[in-house]
Amino acid sequence: MPVLNDQLDAAFLRGVRGFIFDCDGVLIDSFQANIAYYNFFRTHFGLPPMSLEDEQFTHTQNVFDSLKRIVPPEHYEAAMQYRHQVDYKSILPYVRREPGIRKLLSWLKAAGFPIGVNTNRTDTTSMVFETVDLLGYFDPIMTAGIAPKPKPDPAGMLAILDAWGLAPGEVVFVGDSDVDEMTARNSGVPFWAFKNQDLDADLHLPDFPTLLRALKRAWPEIGEELQGA
């Protein structure tokens, strides 16, 4: 489980043909936004704010399982209806773009690599990407509202591979949670853990600037092509 750094031989990266990213905790820092969102439901049903354990759970799980955890069973259906009344725009000020991600995505896109997203968000993904200026980089974007089943089911990952015409071993999945780790394992895709060394990963990433420098070392000819374009 190597940790990527500036001394690591980056030649192994040349086998990667596509990059799939999780959203929350990877592309964006949405932990505080997530807490604010689910505490709307707690307040609505007369409950106190979430516990620390609930905050961690809801940050990595899909909205369906999260609501099952944070509201009593008898209120679950009402909570699902209340989702449509929550103004998610009030949450967006809490969302932050991960440092270095736009430079990385711009380089990958200019170099011709396919870039996708596999997230357990549902209908807020485009709104979040617009807020943090990440629209236009990803195709496809598989959400829990589009994939037949949410992560860690492999359906979303396999749909991306099918769209690209690539085999599981030709792409990597960058995630930050045990759900992402299981998703990668279930789909046969190599897993790169972002800022979480507790995960069982093929590679650990400390940040995106380090990854971009490694990619430029692995493909120096791409850098020359981009400079001459």
Using one digit for the tens of pLDDT, what is the confidence trace for 37-56?
999 999 999 999 999 999 99
Question: Which of 93, 111, 127 is the C-terminal boundary of a domain?
Answer: 93
For the stretch 219-223, contacts whose Cβ atoms lie closer than 8 Å and that sit 24 or more positions apart, written own/partner, are 219/13, 219/14, 219/111, 222/111
Residue 112 lies in a domain: yes
The pLDDT of residue 112 is above 90:
yes
Is the separation of the CB atoms in 175 and 194 below 8 Å? yes
Per-residue confidence at 22, pLDDT binned at 50, 70, 90?
very high
Lowest mean pLDDT among 39-43, 56-60, 205-209: 56-60
Let me know whether 45 and 107 are in one domain. Answer: no
**DSSP annotation of 19:** E
What is the structure's pLDDT at 37? Answer: 93
Question: Which of 70, 93, 116 is the C-terminal boundary of a domain?
Answer: 93
Q: Strand, helix or coil at 194?
A: strand
CA 98/CA 203 separation, integer angstroms = 19
Residue 21 lies in a domain: yes
Let me know whether 75 and 180 are in one domain. Answer: no
Per-residue confidence at 229, pLDDT binned at 50, 70, 90?
very low
Average pLDDT on 184-191 reads 98
The phi-psi region of residue 51 (left if phi > 0; otherwise alpha if psi is between -120 and 50; otherwise beta) is: beta
What is the structure's pLDDT at 228? Answer: 44
CA 42/CA 53 separation, integer angstroms = 14
As a whole-number percent, the residues of the chain with pLDDT over 70 amount to: 97
The pLDDT of residue 61 is above 90:
no
Q: Which two tokens stand for residue 169?
A: 């071993």
Let me know whether 87 and 154 are in one domain. Answer: no
Residue 199 lies in a domain: yes
Let me know whether 65 and 117 are in one domain. Answer: no
Residue 3 lies in a domain: no
The pLDDT of residue 76 is above 60:
yes
Let me know whether 22 and 73 are in one domain. Answer: no
Comparison of pLDDT for 86 and 22, the residue scoring more: 22
User: Can you say whether the dihedral through the CA atoms of 151, 98, 5, 106 is positive or negative?
Assistant: positive
User: What pairs with residue 118 in β-bridges?
Assistant: 142
Let me know whether 117 and 182 are in one domain. Answer: yes
CATH number at residue 167: 3.40.50.1000
Domain assignment of residue 153, given as a range: 10-29+96-228
Residue 5 lies in a domain: no
Q: Which two tokens stand for residue 40?
A: 């709307």
H or E segment to which residue 77 belongs: helix 76-82
52 CB burial (10 A radius; 0-12, 13-18, 19+): exposed
Let me know whether 51 and 103 are in one domain. Answer: no
Q: Strand, helix or coil at 204?
A: strand
Per-residue confidence at 227, pLDDT binned at 50, 70, 90?
low
Residue 2 lies in a domain: no
Per-residue confidence at 225, pLDDT binned at 50, 70, 90?
low
Let me know whether 149 and 55 are in one domain. Answer: no
Q: Phi and psi (nearest 5°) for 118?
A: -130, 105
Residue 1 lies in a domain: no
Is the separation of the CB atoms in 215 and 109 below 8 Å? no
Per-residue model confidence as pLDDT tens digits over 117-163 = 999 998 889 999 999 999 999 999 999 989 989 999 999 999 999 99
User: What pairs with residue 24 in β-bridges?
Assistant: 28
Let me know whether 196 and 173 are in one domain. Answer: yes
User: Can you say whether the dihedral through the CA atoms of 97, 99, 104, 106 is positive or negative?
Assistant: positive
Q: What is the largest CA-CA distance in the chain?
A: 63
Let me know whether 110 and 176 are in one domain. Answer: yes
pTM of the predicted structure, to 2 decimals: 0.86
Give me the number of domains the chain comprises: 2
Let me know whether 177 and 141 are in one domain. Answer: yes
Q: Phi and psi (nearest 5°) for 219?
A: -125, 65
Question: Which of 72, 93, 114 is the C-terminal boundary of a domain?
Answer: 93
Residue 221 lies in a domain: yes
